[in-house]
Amino acid sequence: MVTTPTFNSWVRCPNPNPEAYFRLFCFPYAGGGASIFRTWSNSLPPDIEVCTIQLPGREDRLKEAPFTHISPLVEILTQIIHPYLDIPFAFFGHSMGALIGFELARKLRSEQAPTPNHLFISGRRAAQIPDLNPLIHTLPEPEFLSELRQLNGTPKQVLEHYELMQLLMPILRADFSICGTYTYLTEPPLDCSISAFGGIEDSGETPEMIESWSVQTSSLFSLEMLPGDHFFINSSRPLLLEMLAKKIEQVMALGFV
């Protein structure tokens, strides 16, 4: 039997399960919060405990300053997440979240702490491939909003709500800064296997860019392209969760390769 640590502001486990044999940590995309994943445990086997990461600056942490660079964020996450690493686990991250999960896995390795048994990468080009437009977070407001519309991840009614967008703008700029200021440093490949997912209609993150994650593991790698654009995580959620469940089952069966 395992015991999920008590509530903290960073890690949320909507359905704690002391009998869980596996934990899935979920990292949000830019502008997103833990609520993105609030229903995921309903579609996954009950023995998989879903723990969502709530970053500062959003939802019930709105008054806290968001991070603008990935290194200090990963530093604190390494300490925050450590009590939760008492059973096998995997990281899932979409877009910005994929980058955070990848760097956190490398940081845990450098600290000789438990590392993920599997890494799920979603909607993000390989870490070694630079962003084509790293300065999105510095654009004037009209151009920044135009970029958000092209990504199609922010509802139209939110984009057109001036007061709400003024509230969300600092968070979105901070998150885009995390990605835009990211500098990839060469390290040995991870030991854990990696599954990468992309959207068939996502013109910004091509299959070739996503498949390049294969060099970041010395173990097994797989690529799946799902229906939808950059936010297929929402439009193809049932299919994605079905794939996650099957892959975790395979990882367990193969002895956590």
The edge-to-edge listing of strands for the beta sheet with 89-94 is 11-12, 48-53, 22-27, 89-94, 118-122, 193-199, 221-226
Of the listed 35, 41, 43, 95, which one is catalytic? 95
The owner of tokens 């069966």 is 253
Establish whether 71 is a catalytic residue. Answer: no
Pick from 91, 92, 88: nearest CA to 254: 88
As a whole number of angstroms, the distance between CA 241 and CA 42 comes to 10
Give the Å distances, CA to CA, from 126 to 47, 82, 211.
Answer: 30, 26, 7
According to DSSP, residue 217 is labeled: B
Q: Which residues are catalytic?
A: 95
